[in-house]
């Protein structure tokens, strides 16, 4: 049929795009195709030819534009619209029951859940602006990830433009989804790789994650990826009131939602769903490793809040680990970055859930003795949580002569230093001169969450130490390309690139530098908290210095100033202080500071410094996550629970129980107008409520209540 018979090429292009989106929705979301694959291909080819003849008709969200981006040199790091937290999880019933008890204690017995299969793929954030896909970001560390928009656009089940036929599309919509590769597609992909003499993928999850991180979108487009969307991270407007309503909204917007999600009233129904899913697990066309339980009521989720690691309103109930039997060949003491010497089991290779396993962590010398595991034993191996290989137990072999019990050596296998037992663990005290620890510390300093030095991985760090090129951590910054070119595996370009990357890392974020030092107890989140609190490395170091004098009869508290930082308690503060006080540590830190300039986190001002603010209910002008960012940029601390230490509760539409708790405790509440006054002029801009003295006015009694806790 000619273009003219359809009213011209522009109109025909619109018709074809609309038809292709509609049939993609029926195919991927509703699973109710109305036309054959052949007919769909005909429509697609017609649109492609039409756009080739009239390039001015091409739109960014046209179905023909899924693959069009040029290969990248590197992925851009992008901050998530809202944190992508991990889930609290267990394979035991008791933690699940405790989760249910906590929910009922906080919210009462009138609650409901939604249960979903726990997909085993690659987590991703999808952001739609004005209904069009604007960016896609890998989970990364939960706060920021890698921008893979060009790759996500190649997945045909991802709509480039949301449907608005059944539900209005919000101006901004950030979604959490899982990119997967179905089992049949995975097997076909591996067969093709083997035919072309290329190594196959170990399992569908690795295949999905590896395909998603290709710098060339054309490679990703050739991989059979699929996606399921399951949560709203942020929305400009009022969110659906429940998880069930959320899933239906996602479907109406044209997004693929897993068909096996359903409501559950209590633990009994949750366990029934888990048993049903586990029984049919091997018949599913995609990999799962458990189920996820979520509070159905979105407002109730707001009530129970979240920790820095996981939401309190969701729980992952994992399947029991897969198990196999193999022969343990050798036990080797391995020295880690922190000096812990861990017994590692080397085994005859065995496949566990699609992954070939040949080594496992035996944890510590007491664990080896308790299980009575010896070299040559036949053992049962499992992947805890379907991820980490571990030796579960020894299998009796009557009549077979066994080796002598394994004993931890008295000296470090890497440097010969006498080892020190500390409880069930064994340590090498030679922190910075032990080659194994030195290589580990160099690798950690250059890792993605630290200085992010491209090219400085485990293999390179071990090579630099083994060849004597680096004898102390600060010598990393003295490396020259000519010296690197003498080492195996380095050419002029790779040597120059590494030296350049090291040089560029000399200016870095304060949080990255603190994390990169490898201080005990300090992970990525704690490093960020410390950086935000102290704003300079010198201030942090001074706070971590032990007190030289204490009041008579009292013991000087370790790192007292550190405990003012959220998430740091007495034990953690003591560990940080003790580590930084060691002379050899202090010397290395001094040298590193002479090379590295840590940059404090950006701050728009401190007009709200010292205020603790809770947000509840929906805001008209912005999302709660946007409001939180604005408040934190001005120095406020945004928390998830209300206590007498809370300065203000900002209440939008449908605020829920946090408003009731604020009224009970006498905490001042603000509406959206009050929030704008606070953001624009600080606390002084607010009009004091009637009959209530302004903060700091005569008659105010000092607060003596206990500090705020994380309890819901």
Which of 624, 641, 516 is closest to 566 using CA atoms? 641
Residue 84 to residue 145: CA distance in whole angstroms: 10
Check if 644 is active-site.
no
Give the containing element (helix H, strand E) for 599: strand 597-599
Burial of 384 (0-12, 13-18, 19+ CB in 10 A): middle
Instruction: Please provide the DSSP assignment of 330-376 as one string.
Output: EEEEEE-TTSBEEEEEEEEEEEETTEEEEEEE---HHHHHHHT--TT
Give the containing element (helix H, strand E) for 293: strand 288-295
| Helix-helix angle 458-466:435-445, to 10 degrees | 140
Take residue 584 and report the two structure tokens written for it: 């050899």
Instruction: Please provide the DSSP assignment of 307-321 as one string.
Output: -SSSBTTEEEEEPPP
CB 406 within 8 A of CB 374: yes
Give the containing element (helix H, strand E) for 184: helix 183-195
Residue 374 to residue 404: CA distance in whole angstroms: 7
User: What DSSP character marks residue 583?
Assistant: H
Which of 145, 216, 217, 205 is closest to 180 using CA atoms? 205
Residue 239 to residue 298: CA distance in whole angstroms: 8
SS3 category, 220:
helix
Q: Name the region of 366 (left: φ>0; alpha: ψ -120 to 50; beta: rest).
A: alpha
Q: Which of 118, 294, 630, 637 is catalytic?
A: 118
CA 170, chain centre distance (Å): 26
Give the containing element (helix H, strand E) for 119: strand 113-119
Helix/strand/coil percent split, the chain, to 5: 35, 20, 40
SS3 category, 466:
helix
Residue 231 to residue 114: CA distance in whole angstroms: 12
Give the containing element (helix H, strand E) for 46: helix 37-53
Residue 434 to residue 427: CA distance in whole angstroms: 11
CA 401, chain centre distance (Å): 47
Give Cβ neighbours of residue 464 (< 8 Å, ≥ 6 apart): 439, 442, 470, 476, 479, 487
Burial of 41 (0-12, 13-18, 19+ CB in 10 A): exposed
CB 96 within 8 A of CB 90: yes
**Which residues participate in catalysis according to the annotation?**
118
């Amino acid at each position: 049929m000619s273009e003219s018979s359809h009213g011209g090429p522009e109109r025909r292009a619109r018709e074809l795009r609309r038809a292709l989106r509609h049939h993609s929705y029926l195919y991927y979301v509703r699973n109710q195709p109305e036309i054959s694959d052949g007919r769909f291909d005909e429509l697609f080819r017609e649109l492609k030819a039409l756009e080739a003849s009239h390039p001015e008709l091409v739109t960014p969200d046209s179905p023909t534009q899924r693959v069009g981006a040029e290969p990248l040199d590197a992925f851009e790091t992008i901050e998530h619209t809202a944190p992508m937290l991990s889930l609290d999880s267990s394979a035991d019933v008791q933690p699940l029951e405790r989760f249910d008890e906590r929910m009922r204690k906080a919210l009462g017995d009138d609650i409901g859940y939604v249960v979903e299969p726990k997909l085993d793929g690659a987590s991703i954030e999808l952001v739609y602006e004005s209904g069009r896909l604007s960016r896609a970001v890998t989970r990364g560390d939960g706060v920021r990830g890698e921008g893979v928009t060009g790759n996500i656009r190649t997945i045909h089940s991802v709509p480039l433009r949301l449907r608005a036929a059944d539900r209005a599309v919000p101006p901004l919509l950030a979604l959490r989804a899982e990119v997967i590769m179905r089992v049949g597609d995975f097997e076909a992909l591996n067969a093709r790789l083997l035919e072309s003499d290329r190594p196959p993928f170990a399992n569908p999850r690795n295949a999905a994650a590896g395909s998603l991180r290709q710098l060339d979108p054309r490679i990703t487009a050739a991989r059979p990826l699929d996606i399921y969307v399951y949560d709203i991270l942020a929305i400009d407007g009022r969110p659906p009131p429940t998880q069930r309503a959320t899933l239906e909204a996602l479907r109406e917007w044209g997004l693929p939602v897993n068909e096996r999600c359903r409501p559950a009233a209590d633990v009994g129904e949750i366990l029934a769903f888990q048993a049903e899913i586990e029984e049919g697990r091997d018949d599913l066309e995609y990999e799962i490793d458990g189920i996820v339980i979520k509070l159905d009521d979105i407002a109730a989720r707001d009530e129970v809040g979240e920790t820095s690691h996981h939401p309190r309103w969701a729980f992952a109930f994992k399947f029991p680990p897969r198990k196999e039997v193999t022969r343990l060949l050798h036990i080797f003491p391995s020295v880690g970055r922190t000096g812990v010497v861990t017994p590692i089991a080397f085994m005859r290779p065995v496949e566990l859930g699609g992954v070939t396993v040949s080594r496992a962590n035996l944890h510590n010398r007491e664990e080896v003795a308790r299980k009575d595991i010896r070299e040559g034993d036949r053992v049962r191996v499992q992947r805890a949580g379907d991820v980490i290989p571990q030796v579960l137990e020894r299998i009796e072999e009557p009549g077979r002569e066994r080796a002598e019990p394994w004993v931890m050596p008295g000296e470090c296998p890497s440097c010969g230093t006498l080892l020190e037992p500390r409880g069930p663990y064994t340590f090498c005290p030679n922190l910075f001169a032990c080659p194994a620890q030195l290589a580990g510390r160099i690798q950690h300093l250059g890792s993605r969450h630290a200085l992010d030095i491209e090219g400085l991985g485990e293999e390179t760090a071990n090579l630099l130490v083994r060849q004597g090129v680096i004898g102390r951590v600060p010598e990393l910054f003295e490396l020259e390309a000519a010296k690197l070119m003498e080492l195996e595996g380095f050419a002029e370009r790779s040597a120059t690139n590494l030296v350049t990357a090291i040089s560029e890392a000399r200016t870095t974020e304060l949080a990255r530098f603190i994390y990169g030092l490898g201080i005990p107890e300090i992970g990525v989140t704690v490093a960020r908290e410390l950086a935000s609190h102290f704003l300079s490395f010198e201030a942090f170091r001074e706070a971590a210095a032990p007190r030289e004098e204490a009041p008579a009869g009292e013991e000087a508290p370790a790192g007292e100033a550190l405990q003012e930082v959220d998430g740091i308690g007495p034990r953690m503060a003591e560990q940080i202080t003790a580590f930084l006080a060691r002379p050899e540590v202090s010397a290395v830190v001094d040298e590193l500071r002479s090379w590295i300039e840590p940059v404090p986190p950006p701050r728009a001002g401190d007009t709200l410094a010292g205020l603790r603010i809770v947000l509840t209910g929906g805001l008209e002008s912005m999302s709660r996550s946007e409001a939180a960012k604005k408040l934190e940029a001005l120095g406020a601390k945004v928390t998830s629970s209300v206590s007498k230490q809370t300065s203000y509760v900002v209440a939008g539409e449908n605020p829920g129980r946090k408003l009731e708790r604020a009224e009970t405790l006498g905490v001042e509440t603000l509406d959206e107008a009050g929030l704008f006054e606070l953001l624009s002029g600080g606390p002084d801009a607010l009009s004091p409520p009637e009959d209530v003295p302004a903060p700091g006015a005569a008659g105010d009694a000092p607060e003596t209540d206990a500090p705020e806790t994380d309890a819901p």
